[in-house]
Chain A
Amino acid sequence: MAFVNLSLLLGGICTAIPIVLHLVMRQKPKHLPFPALQFLQHRRETNRRTLQLRHWLLLALRCLAVAVIVFALARPSVDSTAVAGWLMSAGLLVTLGLVGGCLIFTLMQRKGRLLIGILAALSGLLLIALAVNTIGSLRTGPRVLLGDQQAPVAAALVIDSSPAMMYRYQNQTRLDVARETATWLIGQFSLESDVAVVEARPEPALFSVDLSAARKAVSRLQPEGGREPLPRAIRKALRLLATNDKARKEVYVFTDLTRSSWQDDQSGALRAALDDAREVTVYVVDVGVEAPRNVALSGLQLSAETLAGDNDLIVEAEVAAVGAGGQSRVELFVEEPDPDKPIIVDGETILPRAVRRDRHEIELAQDASKKIRFRVRGLPVGVHQGSVRLTQDDNLAIDNQRYFTVNVVESWPVLVVAPSGVNESLLTEAIAPFEYRETNRARFQCTVISQGDLENHILQNYAVVALVDPSPLTPTQWERMARFVEHGGGLGIFLGHNAAATTSFNSEVPRRLVGGKLARIWRSPERDLFLAPTRYDHPVLAPFRDQATSVPWDASPVFLHWVLDELGSNTTRVAALSNGKPAIVETVHGTGRVLTWTTPVSDPLRPAGRTCWNELPTSEVNWPYFVLINETIRYLAGTNDQRLNYLVGETVQIPNQTGAYPDRYDLFPPHDEPLDVTAHQDLLTVRATDRAGAYRLKGFLGGPVARGFAVNLAPRESDLRRLSRVQLDELLGKDRYQLARNKDEIVLEVGQARVGREFYPYLMVLLVIVVGLEHLFANRFYRQPT
């Protein structure tokens, strides 16, 4: 509890005035002769006690009236969170007074003992409850400095600048409202106040030089996708306020209360930080709309970011409606390749022409979502920028368009090396089926040679070299393989019956490539051995993740496999067999990688003169094999490395091999001036991905080179569902913050938090009651004879 005019409490001495008056100016009784005194004697004692009671009651009321006046003038106030406790104490006090009064009356009237006992017990209980509640309220104590509302403050304005804040309502975006309210609020602070505008950015927060600088910082706020969650920004604000020595510290969070803005994996940390900074008052200013209506493109998925051959691009877009439904039109645009564009003409950026390639009309129910598939055919080799758009405008325009970038390349050349007598067709048909080869849709272009012809081929012309059931290679061949891998090539070694645990495989170089020592052949003729991956985090196994428990691995038994011992330090297990032995291991060598299978991938069902090693390619349910071998070759070819579609705020890294690509590019970000970016260590890094859109890289290496990538908002940014009060309580702590929706509520909440909840009105009501009672009793007790 705090007092605005603490010194006025000295006026409490005035409560002695009624007592003094009572003693000094005690009413003198009229003296009258009266013979019939005997009729007064009987009830005299009762009357005397009644008189005393009245005297005490009146004295108490008068003292109470003076005390209430003094208390009210001192303007007591408590922290608004503790009001309930104090009101409870007041209620208990009044009840105790009533029950106590009844007890005294009962005692004086010498009523039944049972009644006296009950009243005494009730009074005792009330007294205990009052003491406990009051102590509890006192312990709660004012968290913050209460008192003068105009005292300088240290304030941190945390303003939510998420894309959802661009929701337009009553011709104002939420960010506009937040900016306006924040600017108004800054004007309310005294000039000595320290104000910081905290943005949800990784940069540390700082106090503005003065209030006008704070206003400018507010006006500069722009919506950002790749920002920190609000809880983190609030923690940052709390850390900043901890460095300030002002007595009053306040955090204002301007937010639309959308869940996406408040999602944080460390929400407990915010509660802890708020508990630590109890002297800081937190105000949440809700600038959101209670029932938002929006249709959004909430997600976009590409069949592949790098397309090989003449494959179709499948674009899957998800359209979601929040608070609205109806018919929507979704269109897909792809830019026509033009190496000369973008180009700046008269200060204006001329972009390649976007051509609409597909269109869908959909009917959406309220609060429902729907997925749409677009198929784009005939994309020529090169980087293509495209977008999916909702044609209708709505309140939130920022999520009506999503961007994608796809790189179309020629088929990856794969050199399949097989000793004589080994049928490699099971492999080549799996990764480049005949039908695909004929229609130029095969992702891999296989060149099959015998192991003996290895010297006649330049390995660097191939993306992948696959050693199918290799027989012992010469040290020179191993050396060539090692150099190939070291320079970024992908090597697949599929061990089979031709391998031998001899020096050809177990010498230093082959061991380094294979990943371990070939120890022995494991035999399991009972069809009880099969591939049994336990983890699916490796890219090779990624397609199985969604159905990990239902993949029929046991339908393709393994009868024989090589046991690899002494795995190298740079070798990791990719998949194991059901006996726990490695089935696939990956070895990183230089900039390339080697995947070694300990059992072959091309063994026929009934090989002549020997036992079949496995039924992976030949079993009736062999689709896991097809997926696995394709992913193995894709992984070795490095097609997964080149990520072209990013989320806002992510750092973009694009491989940029020296010689194959230019070192310097002009980066054309969406709606902004071009930037100059330079590749380092064969890697092009771009961090300025604050806005969603198509980012175009334009370089020159013997001719114009056009590359690029796309940046999109995270799908959750379109989620306009709001936090409930309960969820907000969980995040910030119940009664740990004040929620305001407009300026008036801010004034009210801030006033209550700064000055506390004043008891002045309640005390005035109490004073009226006390004075009224005093008047009533005094008139009744001392009625003058008419």
Chain B
Amino acid sequence: MAAVEKYLKPEVINQIKRLDLRAQFVVKGFLQGLHASPFHGFSVEFSEHRRYSHGDDPKDIDWLVYAKTDKYYIKKFEAETNITGYLAMDLSQSMGYTHRQELTKFDYAICLAAALCYLMVHQQDPVGLITFDDRLRDCLAPKSKRSQLGNVLSHLANLKPTGQTEIAKCLTQIAAMLRHRSLVMLFSDLLGDPAEIMRSLRQLRHGGHDVILFHILDEAEVSFPFDGLVEFEDPETHQRVEVDATSFRQDYLQEITDFRQEFQRNCRQSGIDYVPLDTSMQFDKALLEYLLSRRARG
């Protein structure tokens, strides 16, 4: 079990190059770590039987079928209600930042998105993908087929964070685009105007959509591990700022904390799930957040 749980760690996942495997490992590692079924208590209905295989939970064995056929079959369930999920990926260049040159914010976001996609597809929830930077780039319509997982993952694997950021505008467009009540999972570093972003998020929420906001920052952006005289350059705007990092750390940490707390407060007021993350955190936190949100809607 411990061998699987290690895949929740970003540094371990980073060593796996294939995205589908990453997603699989993350989800399996996450599920293995849970003592109870994440779906237990969900409003699900029986869909079909399948042969028992090693590793399935013995409590799912349908003993009536066993009595009739003398073979182990386990019952498969189907969610009673389907939630259409959208993975909204921020493709801005800032998402490609990593201080330790290991896992970028974008990599972290993709890995997380893939894992969530994996989870959703396995629950027959239709899942789609929206990418944006300064405008909407791609949009995969949500489907619940198993082939959708491959589509989404292959699409995610090919994404490159290179654009400018216009999160607020793009969120407004997404809100206008979605017609049915959906679960929008937004993966972004939110490096833009927070007021405008919140306004757009509220629009999205106002459209009846559930929103989980995965606020992903680099570990360095959270802890500011710099010392001495440093000239920082914004990769998007190429603006430069020269500061004495040592003396600036407290100020910066205060700023970033304020920023996150502001978002958290606003999101709570708007009924948005706000998940602050950084690239050093394990994936289970994000997944658990999703499942809790999923349960709340089940």
Which residues of A are interface residues toward B (Cβ below 8 A)? 27-44, 46-48, 50-51, 54, 780-786
Does B120 have its Cβ within 8 Å of any Cβ on chain A? no
Give Cα A431 to B233, complex, Å. 129
Give Cα A44 to B94, complex, Å. 20
- Give chain B residues whose Cβ lies under 8 Å from the Cβ of A31: 230-231, 233
Residue of A nearest to B96 (CB): A35
Known: A43-B251, A783-B246. A33 touches B97 (CB 8 A): yes
Residue of B nearest to A27 (CB): B229
Give Cα A38 to B236, complex, Å. 12
Contact partner of A35 (CB less than 8 A), chosen from B189, B242, B244, is B189
Query: Within the complex, what minimum Cβ distance (angstroms) separates A783 from chain B?
Result: 5
Give Cα A50 to B252, complex, Å. 15
Give Cα A751 to B226, complex, Å. 57
- Taken residue by residue from 217 to 261, chain B's Cβ proximity to chain A (1 for < 8 Å, 0 otherwise) reads as 110110001111111111111010111101110011001100100
- Give chain B residues whose Cβ lies under 8 Å from the Cβ of A37: 232-234, 237, 239, 241
Does B139 have its Cβ within 8 Å of any Cβ on chain A? no
Extra pairs beyond A50-B247, A51-B244, A781-B246 (11, CB < 8 Å): A32-B226, A33-B235, A34-B97, A36-B217, A36-B221, A37-B233, A47-B243, A47-B251, A781-B244, A784-B228, A786-B227
Contact partner of B231 (CB less than 8 A), chosen from A29, A42, A46, is A29
Could you tell me if A29 and B242 are in contact, using CB atoms closer than 8 angstroms? yes
Known: A38-B191, A40-B248. A783 touches B97 (CB 8 A): no
Could you tell me if B230 and A30 are in contact, using CB atoms closer than 8 angstroms? yes
Contact partner of A39 (CB less than 8 A), chosen from B230, B231, B236, B255, is B255
Could you tell me if A47 and B228 are in contact, using CB atoms closer than 8 angstroms? no
Contact partner of B252 (CB less than 8 A), chosen from A27, A40, A54, is A40
Total interface residues in chain B, CB < 8 Å: 36
- Give chain B residues whose Cβ lies under 8 Å from the Cβ of A34: 97, 220-221, 232-234
Query: Within the complex, what minimum Cβ distance (angstroms) separates A45 from chain B?
Result: 10
Give Cα A35 to B192, complex, Å. 10
- Give chain B residues whose Cβ lies under 8 Å from the Cβ of A785: 225-228
- Give chain B residues whose Cβ lies under 8 Å from the Cβ of A46: 251
- Give chain A residues whose Cβ lies under 8 Å from the Cβ of B229: 27-30, 51, 782
Which residues of B are interface residues toward A (Cβ below 8 A)? 93-94, 97, 99, 189, 191, 217-218, 220-221, 225-237, 239, 241-244, 246-248, 251-252, 255-256, 259
Query: Within the complex, what minimum Cβ distance (angstroms) separates B222 from chain A?
Result: 9
Contact partner of B241 (CB less than 8 A), chosen from A28, A41, A784, is A41
- Give chain A residues whose Cβ lies under 8 Å from the Cβ of B247: 47, 50-51, 781
- Give chain B residues whose Cβ lies under 8 Å from the Cβ of A27: 229
Could you tell me if B227 and A47 are in contact, using CB atoms closer than 8 angstroms? no
Query: Within the complex, what minimum Cβ distance (angstroms) separates B94 from chain A?
Result: 3
Residue of B nearest to A37 (CB): B234
Most B CB within 10 A of own CB, among A29, A41, A48, A783: A29
Contact partner of B256 (CB less than 8 A), chosen from A35, A39, A786, is A39
- Give chain A residues whose Cβ lies under 8 Å from the Cβ of B99: 32
- Give chain A residues whose Cβ lies under 8 Å from the Cβ of B243: 40, 44, 47-48, 51
Could you tell me if A32 and B234 are in contact, using CB atoms closer than 8 angstroms? no
Query: Within the complex, what minimum Cβ distance (angstroms) separates A211 from chain B?
Result: 68
- Give chain A residues whose Cβ lies under 8 Å from the Cβ of B248: 40, 43, 47
Sample of 18 A–B contacts (CB below 8 Å): A29-B242, A30-B226, A31-B233, A32-B99, A34-B234, A35-B189, A36-B189, A36-B217, A37-B241, A38-B191, A40-B248, A50-B247, A780-B246, A781-B244, A783-B227, A784-B228, A785-B227, A786-B227
Residue of A nearest to B98 (CB): A33
Could you tell me if A30 and B228 are in contact, using CB atoms closer than 8 angstroms? yes
Residue of A nearest to B221 (CB): A36
Give Cα A46 to B220, complex, Å. 22
Most B CB within 10 A of own CB, among A33, A44, A47, A785: A33
- Give chain B residues whose Cβ lies under 8 Å from the Cβ of A44: 241, 243
- Give chain A residues whose Cβ lies under 8 Å from the Cβ of B235: 33, 35
Could you tell me if B242 and A39 are in contact, using CB atoms closer than 8 angstroms? no
Query: Within the complex, what minimum Cβ distance (angstroms) separates A25 from chain B?
Result: 13
Could you tell me if B232 and A784 are in contact, using CB atoms closer than 8 angstroms? no
Query: Within the complex, what minimum Cβ distance (angstroms) separates B100 from chain A?
Result: 12
- Give chain A residues whose Cβ lies under 8 Å from the Cβ of B227: 783-786
Query: Within the complex, what minimum Cβ distance (angstroms) separates A451 from chain B?
Result: 127
- Give chain A residues whose Cβ lies under 8 Å from the Cβ of B234: 33-35, 37
Query: Within the complex, what minimum Cβ distance (angstroms) separates A718 from chain B?
Result: 79
Could you tell me if A35 and B241 are in contact, using CB atoms closer than 8 angstroms? no
Residue of A nearest to B97 (CB): A35
Query: Within the complex, what minimum Cβ distance (angstroms) separates B188 from chain A?
Result: 12
Query: Within the complex, what minimum Cβ distance (angstroms) separates B127 from chain A?
Result: 28
Contact partner of B230 (CB less than 8 A), chosen from A32, A36, A41, A780, is A32
Query: Within the complex, what minimum Cβ distance (angstroms) separates B235 from chain A?
Result: 5
Give Cα A29 to B229, complex, Å. 5
Query: Within the complex, what minimum Cβ distance (angstroms) separates A671 from chain B?
Result: 90
Residue of A nearest to B105 (CB): A35
Give Cα A42 to B248, complex, Å. 11
Could you tell me if B221 and A35 are in contact, using CB atoms closer than 8 angstroms? yes
Q: Closest 6 interchain pairs by CB? A: A35-B94, A785-B227, A34-B232, A39-B255, A29-B231, A29-B229
Give Cα A40 to B191, complex, Å. 13
Could you tell me if A36 and B256 are in contact, using CB atoms closer than 8 angstroms? yes
Give Cα A48 to B248, complex, Å. 10
Known: A32-B233, A34-B97. A782 touches B228 (CB 8 A): yes
Most B CB within 10 A of own CB, among A40, A54, A780: A40
Residue of A nearest to B253 (CB): A39
Give Cα A28 to B244, complex, Å. 12
Give Cα A784 to B97, complex, Å. 23
Give Cα A50 to B243, complex, Å. 10
Residue of B nearest to A42 (CB): B255
Residue of A nearest to B250 (CB): A43
Give Cα A105 to B252, complex, Å. 21
- Give chain A residues whose Cβ lies under 8 Å from the Cβ of B94: 35-36
Give Cα A662 to B237, complex, Å. 132
Give Cα A384 to B12, complex, Å. 131
Query: Within the complex, what minimum Cβ distance (angstroms) separates A35 from chain B?
Result: 3
- Give chain B residues whose Cβ lies under 8 Å from the Cβ of A781: 244, 246-247
Query: Within the complex, what minimum Cβ distance (angstroms) separates A786 from chain B?
Result: 8
Query: Within the complex, what minimum Cβ distance (angstroms) separates A294 from chain B?
Result: 76
Residue of B nearest to A785 (CB): B227
- Give chain B residues whose Cβ lies under 8 Å from the Cβ of A54: 244
Could you tell me if B241 and A30 are in contact, using CB atoms closer than 8 angstroms? no
Could you tell me if A40 and B228 are in contact, using CB atoms closer than 8 angstroms? no
Give Cα A784 to B245, complex, Å. 10
Residue of A nearest to B246 (CB): A783
Could you tell me if B239 and A39 are in contact, using CB atoms closer than 8 angstroms? no
Give Cα A716 to B283, complex, Å. 108
Residue of A nearest to B193 (CB): A38
Query: Within the complex, what minimum Cβ distance (angstroms) separates A334 from chain B?
Result: 102
